[in-house]
Structures are given as C-alpha cells and as structure tokens.
Chain A
Amino acid sequence: MSEQIYSNSEVQLVVFKLGREEYSVSILQVQEIKRITDITRVPHTPDYIKGVINLRGSVLPVIDLKKRLNLPQQVITEDTRIIIVKVDELSVGMIVDAVSEVMTINQENIDSPDVVAGSVAASYLSGVGKLENRLLILLNLEEIIGIGQETKAI
C-alpha cells in the first residue's frame, strides 16, 4: 500500500532546458533521449514540425519545441537533444536545448498552469512545479502534439 501512496503523491519528471527556462515531462511518457541526427524536412507541414527522423527503422516526426511554444530560436549545440515521447501510441521527437536531470517532485508542489496564463499558450502547459528557487514548467504533450483537442488528460 505504501507504494500506492508514494506514486500518487509524487511524480518523476525528465527536466530539460529551452532557452533560460526549465521544462519537464513525466518520465512515463519518455521513450528515450537521442542526440540530434539528420532530420528530413517534410513540405506542407506546420512550421513547428521540424521533419522526420529514422529511429531504428521507424520514421518519426520531430517537433521543434521552441517554435511550438513561441520561444526565441537558438542554434543547435553540443547539448541539443531529441526527446522521444510516446502519447496515445504516437511516438514523437521533441528538440530541446539540453536535458538536465530526472527528478521526483511532490504533487502538492505543482500549481495549475493558470498562474502563467498569457505568457505562453497556456493550453500547452499542465502545471508549474515549484522547487526551492527553481520553477519547472510541466508540458501538456497531448496539446503540443496536437491530438489533445478531445481529451485533456491529467
């Protein structure tokens, strides 16, 4: 039973950087983290879709997360990574500036995204986590990938 309580109140997050801000997604949604590879541009797609990559034989779309969130662009560096997330059986890569750590945070310390409404499209966020002197922005992947119109999970 103790395990149950533990998992109910705490979440494990993969934390990454976009510009100066820290973002995170639930570790349960992360399939793997990959160095940047060749990305093939796909014509006639929204500009935040960077293209497609080859992930061990399957072709996956890759989202430029900063474009999606209307953040200023930054060049690709040594630290740039592609986080492969899986949402509703759909695997998608997201380009982030750097992956910093995996941490556990108590559910109580997560605020609703309304506090930052207006800053970025609030629907892309599922919450803001407070740590001692850091803020972690929790992403709503369903919305970001564009399949969350009908279901708003978590």
Chain B
Amino acid sequence: MDTNQYMGMFLEESREHLQTLNSCVLDLENDPDNLSVLSEIFRSAHTIKGMSATMGFTTIAELTHEMENILDLLRKGQLKASHDIIDTIFKCVDTLEQLVESVATNSESSVDSKPLITKLKALAKGEPVPTSVTNAEVKSVVEASSLVLSDTEIAIIQKARAQGMQAYEIQVSLREGCLLKSARSYMVMNALDEIGDVIKSVPAVEELEKENFTLSFQVVIVTGSEADKIQQTVLSISEIDKADVLPCVLPDEIHKQESTLKITEQPSKIQSEVEKTAVTTVSQPVVEKKNKSGQSVRVDIDKLDTLLNLVGELVINKTRLEQIGLTHKLTDLVETIEQMDRVTTDLQAVVMKVRMVPVGQVFNRFPRMVRDLSRDLNKEINLIIQGEETELDRTVIDEIGDPLVHLLRNSIDHGIEQPHEREEKGKNPIGEIRLIARHEGNNVIIMVEDDGKGINADVIKRKAVEKGLISQGEADAMDANEAVRLVFLPGFSTAAVVTDVSGRGVGMDAVKNKIESLGGMVDVETKVNEGSKFKIRLPLTLAIIQALLVKVSEEIYAIPLGSIDSTINIMPSEIKTVQNKEVILLRGQIIPIVRLANVLNIPETEQQEQQQEELFVVIVHIGEQRAGIIVDNLIGQQEIVIKSLGKLLAGIKIIAGATILGNGQVALILDIGSLIQ
C-alpha cells in the first residue's frame, strides 16, 4: 500500500495523541485511580499503535503495544500507577515523540526502544524496579493500613463519605524519650475530636491511657477537614515527631487491590506521595475539551493563509471598484459595492476568526516541562493554568512558546525556593506558578506568576552597576520598580549573574525582544519573598494591524498604531540640536528627531525643496524610548494586512513588512524598534 499520501495525517494525528498522552499521564499521576483518564490514555496509545502499524512503522507499533499492556493492567486495576510506572510511561511518550519526529524528518532514528520494552514487560509482570524510596514507603504503608475495621466502623465511614466527609488514618509517632506518653496521646485525641469524630484508635483508648504502646499509635477519624489541616493540628502538639495522614481505605477496597496485586503499594500512600512531588494542573475537565472537537474540520494552515490572502485581495479590489465608481459617478456601481462591502467585511472577520487558536495549544506542553524541571531541581511546584481557551491568531501562537518557556524556567529555577527554604520562611513547601491568559480589549494578557523569592532590587542595582550597565548615580536615583526592569537589559543575561544573585535574567532580553517584535510588551512586578509576576501584553493578531499611513516625498509608509503616541505639527524653528543631534522639546521631555526621508534615502523631489512651513511629526515609542519621526504628510489611519517581503528582502532592518493599499500599490511598514535605535 502506498502510505505516503497519509503521511501528513499520520504525523498530525500522532502528535496530537502524544500531546494528549502527555497531559493525561500528568493527570493520572495526580489521580491514579481516575479511570476516565486511563481510558483516554489507552485510547490514544491504541490509536497510535493502529496507525503506525498500518503505516509500517513497526518500532512505534511495538512500543505502543507494550505500553498498552501496562495500561490495560492499570485499567483493570491489576496494577497501580506507581511512580515507577508513570515515569516509564512518560519515557515511552518521549521515545514515541522522537520516533514520530524521525519519521517526519525521514531520518533514521537513533532511539533504542528495546530497554523500554524490556522494562515495560517487567512492570507488566509485576516486578517492581526497586528504588530505595518506594521500598521504604511501602513498608510504612503496609503498617499503616494494618487496621482492621469493624462493620459498624465501616458503616460510619461510608455514611460520612455519603455526606461529603472523608475518613483518614493517622499514624502518630511520639518523639523518642517522650515523657507522659499517655498525656500526649490524650491531647492528640482531644485535638482530633475538635475537628472531627475519632471512631477508632489502635491501640484502643484505654490502652493508650495505660501507656500500653511504644512510640506510635493510629487513629481513624471522620472529618470534613483536609489532610493537611489534620496533620497540622496533630503536629501543633509538642513532642509529636510525625503525623502521617492517609485517606482511609475500606477493607473491600483493599481486598480488591490485594487479590490482584502482589506489589502491595497502597494506593492511598502513593497518592499522597505523588501529591508531594507532582505537578498538579488545574484546568478544564478533560471531557469538556474533547466534546468540542467533534464538530470541527482539520485544515492545512497554508490553506488558511491562502484564504486570508484571497480575502485581502478581494478587499483591495473592492476599494478599487469604489474609487472607479466615485470618479465616474456611477451610482449603481457605488450602491452595489456598498452591499459587497458588508459581505467582504464579514468575510474578513470570519477568516480572521478561523485563524484564531486557543493558547492552550502552547500551554499544554508546560505541565510536563514544569514537572520534569521541578523534579530535576528537587522542588515541589504546583502549576496552575488559567484561561487556556483564550484565543490568539496563529501567527502569534507560533511565536509565543519560546518566551514563555524562558519565563517559566526562570520561575522554576530562580523564583521558587527549595522546599525547606520555603518552610523556613513560613510558606507552603509546595511552590505555586500560575500561567494565566485573558483578553483585555484588543489585547491578550499572558501572565507568569510565582510565589517564590522575588527579585531583590538592591541586588539587581548592584549587579547592573558592577557590569557597567548603569552608573552608581543612576542606580541611586532608581526606585525598586525601575531597578527590577534592569533584568531586561541585554547585559544582564549572562550566566554569572544568575548563579551569583537571585538569578533572573537568563535571556530576559531575548524574551523582551521577542515580545516586542510581536508588537507586544512585557513587564515585571515583584516583591521580595512573595514572588514575581511577569506580564505579557500581546496584540490579538499580527496579520492585520491598525496603522497610520504617512507620506514622505512620493512614497507611502505605514507606521503600526501600537507604537504611536501622538502626532504633532511643529515649526522648523522648534527643532534644536544637542551635540548635533536634532531634538524637540515636548511637554518638557527631550525627544530625538528622525527625518524619515534621510533614513530611508528617499530621493528628493523638487516640490519638497521649497521649505515647508510646518512639519508633521509622529511621536513613537518602543518601551520607554521615544522619538519623533518627521514626515511630509499624514494620510490617515487604516487597517492593513501585513505581508512578508519574502526571503530575498528579509534582512532589511528598518522595514517590518509590506502591505497592499486600496489602489493596489505596495506600501512598506516601518519597524519602529530599529528605526529609533
């Protein structure tokens, strides 16, 4: 069978399923008992297996086949989603990604999937790959769940659960050499009684009072409080060494698992352990997302681009017809075109909407990244994603990933402290990073927030002075906010700074440049020991922008409205010079002047040589930097469709692209950033 024609589809679908796998396995890690997530994983793996087998990619098929075996065991409850299994599945997904990409690039893959397959087989047989951590944990778990509950107690727990409460087993350990053990146990019981109902203890209360126990005892409590709260309550009593709080597992549940499972890692324990190390993602429920895709069609992005081009062309031709109608005073034509105008405007809006893509497409690779990175750094991080349904034009989506990776890495690496440091500061040992997207007018705001150590303005100032980026005087004059923005300076992005100080600044200038090249802005707010917040503001689309058309000599240029402050008229005499550089004074601010005709080498025409009375100045800004651009005339504000100048003319700094005007003429779009530097 000639499978080449299906290649594109295969790649696209595989990538999509791999993405699903990635996010679903993350979900599974947080909630190992979630059957619907498991089924989702199983389905994706199964589809990949089927597709790759049909396409003749046996390596992929073999690996997914073994994966399926494990997943099937998980689904049937014959295996539990332990750390080891989750890790292995993640490795499988990574390997599959590499294999799929090597198919895409038509290259021989250097990935060897054999060790993974062997491991999967071993796991399927229930041979745990021992790591010291899990073994130790397993023991304490078995001990913890050695409680035997009577039928009445089970009934109480079930009733409590029905009322939305939870049953917990608490393993309380007293400090060695604890005096008056009975008094401590009594205080524990008292404290627990306040937040819930103690329904059992081992040994029984009478035994506890007689001090008939070693250093630890167990309590079963039914309560509406969280496990954390219980733990804190118990630990607040002095001479308590440890209090492990585990959700209570009823005997029939235990029985189910034990009968099929020889590796007795208790699900309850795994869950609490996973909670500690894993990244939790708060996002839309999986089911909801999936339902949407049923009604959509997959379209090649090139076709959408062509569609946009054609619509742009239609709009241009419509404008030309309008002009013809007006010049020749053809009322019938003008009326018809008015009708057409409405249709084309709607059409353009629809095409733009079709190109809108939810930011979730970019965001969904981050949970995995945060998980991996935080594990590497031994940090505990909770990633919260909000507003992933916020839509942006795909031109922006394509570009926004890298800056976000930078910011997230920074937050994980330099923002969030090690768990013990956080505890010392009285914070939750689990750090929190929020990735939030939302609309704000014609912009989209994306924020990366962490509750880490923040950026110390003084340290930043000192470093900037040391590096010669600013003078001591400048540093002294700066307030904290300005100082923190120094991280965006190019010189700051060196490794030395990062290791020395609180860090921040790995490629921050790159982030800033990227965002600005997209017509956006990035800002930072921070408070020492409370965290930092990076805020990115982006235009909805890069394909169509509002621009001011200006005329210089016979040529027309477009200036993106986003970088324009205002336009003013000045008399030539108002131009002063500072060290031979032309400036004007605007509301007390000195603004350098750029004569567009000079910068663009525009040939002078006779008309222009007669000195103009008044000069038109467009005040533009990039970030904090301002400049006045002198033009001959202002034509007006207009929505323009941005076109690339193509590969041949790609390197011209001052020109950001081109657009086609109503009369079919090409006008160039100025790149304000490079113009005023």
Co-complex (A, B):
yes
Residues from chain B with Cβ under 8 Å of A134 in the complex: none
Most A-side CB within 10 Å, residue of B600, B648, B654, B668: B648
Check A35 for interface membership: any CB of B closer than 8 A: no
Residues from chain B with Cβ under 8 Å of A53 in the complex: 666
Check A40 for interface membership: any CB of B closer than 8 A: yes
B646 interface neighbour in A43, A59, A146, Cβ under 8 Å = A59
Check A3 for interface membership: any CB of B closer than 8 A: no
Given contacts A42-B645, A43-B601, contact A59 B658 (CB under 8 A): yes
Stretch at the interface among B205-213, B310-318, B480-488: B310-318
Residues from chain B with Cβ under 8 Å of A146 in the complex: 648
Instruction: Report B157 CB to chain A, min CB distance, Å.
Output: 69
What would 29 A/B residue contacts be, using CB atoms closer than 8 Å?
A: A37-B664, A40-B555, A40-B658, A40-B665, A42-B652, A43-B601, A43-B602, A44-B601, A49-B648, A52-B658, A53-B666, A54-B316, A54-B666, A56-B313, A57-B309, A57-B312, A57-B643, A58-B309, A59-B643, A59-B644, A59-B645, A59-B660, A61-B646, A61-B649, A90-B647, A90-B648, A145-B648, A147-B647, A147-B648
Residues from chain A with Cβ under 8 Å of B602 in the complex: 43
Check B667 for interface membership: any CB of A closer than 8 A: yes
Check A27 for interface membership: any CB of B closer than 8 A: no
When C-beta atoms are compared, the residue in chain A nearest to B655 turns out to be A42
Query: Could you tell me which A residues sit within 8 Å of B by CB distance?
Result: 37-38, 40-45, 49, 51-54, 56-61, 90-92, 145-147
When C-beta atoms are compared, the residue in chain A nearest to B308 turns out to be A57
User: Do A42 and B668 touch across chains, with their CB atoms under 8 A apart?
Assistant: yes
Interface residues of B in 276-320 (CB under 8 A from A): 309-310, 312-313, 316
When C-beta atoms are compared, the residue in chain A nearest to B652 turns out to be A44
Q: How far is the CA of A108 from the CA of B666 in the complex (A)?
A: 44
Given contacts A54-B664, A92-B648, contact A41 B309 (CB under 8 A): no
Instruction: Report A60 CB to chain B, min CB distance, Å.
Output: 7
Given contacts A44-B601, A44-B653, 13 further A-B contacts (CB under 8 A): A38-B665, A40-B665, A40-B666, A42-B655, A42-B668, A43-B602, A43-B654, A43-B668, A45-B649, A52-B649, A56-B313, A59-B660, A92-B648
Residues from chain B with Cβ under 8 Å of A92 in the complex: 648
User: Do B309 and A43 touch across chains, with their CB atoms under 8 A apart?
Assistant: no
Q: How far is the CA of A51 from the CA of B310 in the complex (A)?
A: 23
Q: How far is the CA of A54 from the CA of B668 in the complex (A)?
A: 12
User: Do B645 and A90 touch across chains, with their CB atoms under 8 A apart?
Assistant: no
Residues from chain A with Cβ under 8 Å of B643 in the complex: 57-59
Residues from chain B with Cβ under 8 Å of A42 in the complex: 645, 649, 652, 655, 668
Q: How far is the CA of A40 from the CA of B645 in the complex (A)?
A: 12
Given contacts A40-B665, A40-B666, A40-B667, contact A54 B660 (CB under 8 A): yes
Residues from chain A with Cβ under 8 Å of B313 in the complex: 56-57
Residues from chain B with Cβ under 8 Å of A44 in the complex: 600-601, 652-655
User: Do B652 and A57 touch across chains, with their CB atoms under 8 A apart?
Assistant: no
Instruction: Report B618 CB to chain A, min CB distance, Å.
Output: 17
Q: How far is the CA of A40 from the CA of B600 in the complex (A)?
A: 13
Residues from chain B with Cβ under 8 Å of A40 in the complex: 555, 658, 665-668
Residues from chain A with Cβ under 8 Å of B658 in the complex: 40, 52, 59
Q: How far is the CA of A61 from the CA of B600 in the complex (A)?
A: 17
Instruction: Report A65 CB to chain B, min CB distance, Å.
Output: 14
User: Do B645 and A54 touch across chains, with their CB atoms under 8 A apart?
Assistant: no
Given contacts A58-B643, A90-B646, contact A43 B665 (CB under 8 A): no
Q: Annotate B82-121 by CB proximity to A: 1 below 8 A, 0 otherwise.
A: 0000000000000000000000000000000000000000
User: Do A61 and B666 touch across chains, with their CB atoms under 8 A apart?
Assistant: no
Residues from chain A with Cβ under 8 Å of B647 in the complex: 90, 147
Q: How far is the CA of A57 from the CA of B658 in the complex (A)?
A: 11
Residues from chain B with Cβ under 8 Å of A51 in the complex: 666
Instruction: Report B475 CB to chain A, min CB distance, Å.
Output: 38
Most A-side CB within 10 Å, residue of B658, B660, B666: B666
Instruction: Report A99 CB to chain B, min CB distance, Å.
Output: 22
Residues from chain B with Cβ under 8 Å of A61 in the complex: 645-646, 648-649
Residues from chain B with Cβ under 8 Å of A91 in the complex: 646
Q: How far is the CA of A58 from the CA of B658 in the complex (A)?
A: 9
